[in-house]
Amino acid sequence: MTTPVVSPCPLRDQLPGVYAEDGFAGVFADGLDTMQAPVLNTLDCLDAYFRPGLAPVHFLDWIGSWIGAELDGLATEFARREAVGTAMALHRRRGTAYGLATAIRLAFGVTAEITESGGATWSARPRGPFPGDPRPGLRVVVRVPDPTAFDTRRLEDLVAAARPAHLPFTVEVLAERTEKR
Least confidently predicted of 118-122, 144-148, 159-163: 118-122
Collapsed DSSP state (helix, strand, coil) of residue 37: helix
Distance CA 67, CA 69 (A): 6
- Residue 70 forms part of a structural domain: no
The answer on pLDDT for 181 being more than 60 is no
Looking at every residue in the chain, the average pLDDT score rounds to: 85
Distance CA 14, CA 20 (A): 8
Element (H, E) at 83: helix 77-92
Residue 91: Cβ within 10 Å count: 13
Q: What is the pTM of this model?
A: 0.64
- Residue 23 forms part of a structural domain: yes
Q: What percent of the chain clears pLDDT 70, i.e. is strictly above it?
A: 97
- Residue 78 forms part of a structural domain: no
Do 107 and 70 meet the contact criterion of CB atoms below 8 Å apart? yes
- Average confidence (pLDDT) over 62-80: 82
Query: Are residues 101 and 38 part of one domain?
Result: no
Do 30 and 4 meet the contact criterion of CB atoms below 8 Å apart? no
Per the structure, the complete domain to which residue 29 belongs is given by 15-44
- Residue 61 forms part of a structural domain: no
- Residue 163 forms part of a structural domain: yes
Residue 104: Cβ within 10 Å count: 21
| CATH code: domain of residue 162 | 3.30.300
pLDDT in tens, 40-55: 888 888 888 889 989 9
How many domains in the chain? 2
- Average confidence (pLDDT) over 56-83: 84
- Residue 149 forms part of a structural domain: yes
- Residue 156 forms part of a structural domain: yes
pLDDT in tens, 124-160: 778 877 777 778 889 999 999 999 999 999 999 989 9
- Residue 80 forms part of a structural domain: no
Do 96 and 178 meet the contact criterion of CB atoms below 8 Å apart? no
Query: Are residues 163 and 101 part of one domain?
Result: yes
Collapsed DSSP state (helix, strand, coil) of residue 140: strand
